[in-house]
Structure 1
Amino acid sequence: MKAAVVNYNGGAGKTTLSTYLFKPRMPEDTVFFAVETINQSATDLGVNNVEVLKGKNIGQIIERLVLEDNALIDIGASNVESFLEAASRYVGALDDIDLFVIPVTADQKCWQESLKTVEALSKMGVPAEKIRLLPNRIQDNPADEIPAVFKYCKQSKKATVSADVFVYESEIFGYLAHKKMSFETLIDDSVDYRKLAREETDSDKASEYARMFRWNKMAIPVHNALDDCFAALSR
């Protein structure tokens, strides 16, 4: 699969979802492209082997997509316009991308920019079935929190969105980003943080293990929910 995570709006969660939702669940040979120049990239979250490119270098990306079976493209807000402008110079430049995921939050500016992103992709000939709006940082029910997005998809038929496929708001993403740690490392069954905390004689280290135990227990249900989300997006 070749997937692009994109949004004109900065702060929608593109890099967070690329790092924690997509990358761990895509094949090991997946090439991770960060199309970014000024904002945070997956490298800042501890991801290794991220290839950083500028949006105007669409030609390089087109060539690489021909050669790769699996690719993840995290397109930063600072590069979306140049990426799409450069892509418009080629016939079918985006055809090799199987899925465009647009994270969207309840913030008004974000969902408005998200719909602008849909319009731009649709104008370039990307079919609706390839454009997926993914509600992010949801508290309860995405259809209630971002009704304009669901109404837009129903009426325009230029993208799809589902009230059953979304990502909840959670502190765990901030914790993992701060630690530059993956979900998989934190919830590794071979590490018993409770036991380590109980057996540690250094009080500071014991407190840190206890803290890890708490975050571990928060991470597990979020990780499971991300599994379900990815499975739905990949169908």
Structure 2
Amino acid sequence: MSGKKILIISNYGGVGKSTLAGCLIHPRTGGEILSVESNNLDASAYGLPVHQYAAAEYTQYYADLRRYSAFGNTISDIGASNVEKFIDHLIKSGGHEQFDYVVVPATVGMRGESESISTLLTLLDNVGVAPARIRVVLNQVDKCRRNTPIEQHFERLFAFADQDGRVQSTRNANSLNWKYSRFSPPQPVAGPACVVTIPTMTRRSRKPIWRINIAPSTRR
């Protein structure tokens, strides 16, 4: 029985892709970690074995992805230095259809949120990823502002959710019911829904922090 294939990707560096892969997802799913990165650290920084590739080695990466996933879960961590070429390969090959989940980390602030929105639009409009397969991680939240509704931490991202007909945020999920939670990937759902968050984590402590759900949309 083949395993689940998880892709972690963002146009922007420093959002926690490798930390998410190595410290949050892998401890709970196991499996092989594949890193497409030329310049920056990957999950091997946490003492984990990582299969390393450059975007130019996409053919070998894709062959290994299929081979490893035949026996267990795989986590693909795409570094910002290789993301454009990797996306080009996905578009040309249709390889995005292989992934069960595509995880996009988002960080607080104008640039972090803007790059996350740009990544989502690229995945949806250019690559053709099915909306129901996408998950957004709200990462690096300031715990000192825990009494502030999550919408105020990620104002631009929630505004995008309101404006884009394919996504809809759950407005009753706010700072009052944030909680520590273990990672458990929800199953893809049918329809135009698009973004669901999974628990986020801090870069320093490597522990899951606050979670919030952005529920499937029913809008057409």
TM-score, length of structure 2 as denominator length:
0.71
Q: What one-letter code is carried by the residue in structure 2 that aligns with 1:7? A: S
2:115 counterpart residue number:
113
1: CA distance, partners of 2:74 / 2:33 = 6
Residue 111 of structure 1 deviates from its aligned partner by 1.0
1:153 aligns with 2:155: no
Indicate which of 151, 155, 161 corresponds to 1:143: 151
2: CA distance, partners of 1:15 / 1:131 = 18
Residue 124 of structure 1 deviates from its aligned partner by 1.1
1: CA distance, partners of 2:46 / 2:86 = 23
Alignment of 1:53-132 (within 5 A): 53-67=53-67, 68=69, 69-90=72-93, 92-122=94-124, 123-132=126-135
2:43 counterpart residue number:
42
Task: Give the direction of change, closer, same or farther, for the CA distance of 1:169–1:65 in structure 2 (3 Å limit).
Answer: closer
1:23 aligns with 2:26: yes
Specify the SS of the correspondent of 1:74: strand
Q: Percent identity?
A: 26
Structure 2 residue ranges without an equivalent (≥5): 168-193, 213-220
Q: What one-letter code is carried by the residue in structure 1 that aligns with 2:205? A: I
Task: Give the direction of change, closer, same or farther, for the CA distance of 1:170–1:5 in structure 2 (3 Å limit).
Answer: closer
Q: What one-letter code is carried by the residue in structure 2 that aligns with 1:149? A: L
1: CA distance, partners of 2:53 / 2:95 = 16
Larger mean CA deviation between 9-18 and 38-47 belongs to 38-47
Kindly indicate whether the alpha-carbon contact (under 8 Å) linking 2:19 and 2:203 is maintained by their aligned counterparts in 1.
Answer: no
1: CA distance, partners of 2:201 / 2:59 = 36
1: CA distance, partners of 2:83 / 2:40 = 12
Deviations along 1:147-202, whole A, 9 cap, x unmatched? 2212212432263144xx442546413xxxxxxxxxxxxxxxxxxxxxxxxxxxxx
Specify the SS of the correspondent of 2:135: strand
Equivalent pairs counted in the alignment come to: 174
2: CA distance, partners of 1:124 / 1:135 = 22
Specify the SS of the correspondent of 2:99: coil
TM-score, length of structure 1 as denominator length:
0.67
Q: What one-letter code is carried by the residue in structure 2 that aligns with 1:110? A: G
1:219 counterpart residue number:
none
Say which structure is richer in helix.
Answer: 1
Specify the SS of the correspondent of 1:9: coil
TM-align CA RMSD: 2.3
4+ runs deviating over 4 angstroms: none
Structure 1 residue ranges without an equivalent (≥5): 174-221, 230-235
Give the structure with higher Rg (CA). Answer: 1
Larger mean CA deviation between 145-154 and 120-129 belongs to 145-154
Task: Give the direction of change, closer, same or farther, for the CA distance of 1:147–1:166 in structure 2 (3 Å limit).
Answer: farther
Specify the SS of the correspondent of 1:94: helix
Kindly indicate whether the alpha-carbon contact (under 8 Å) linking 1:12 and 1:103 is maintained by their aligned counterparts in 2.
Answer: yes
Deviations along 1:113-160, whole A, 9 cap, x unmatched? 111111111121101111111100112343220022122124322631
Kindly indicate whether the alpha-carbon contact (under 8 Å) linking 1:101 and 1:131 is maintained by their aligned counterparts in 2.
Answer: yes
2: CA distance, partners of 1:83 / 1:39 = 16
Q: What one-letter code is carried by the residue in structure 1 that aligns with 2:43? A: A
Specify the SS of the correspondent of 1:7: coil
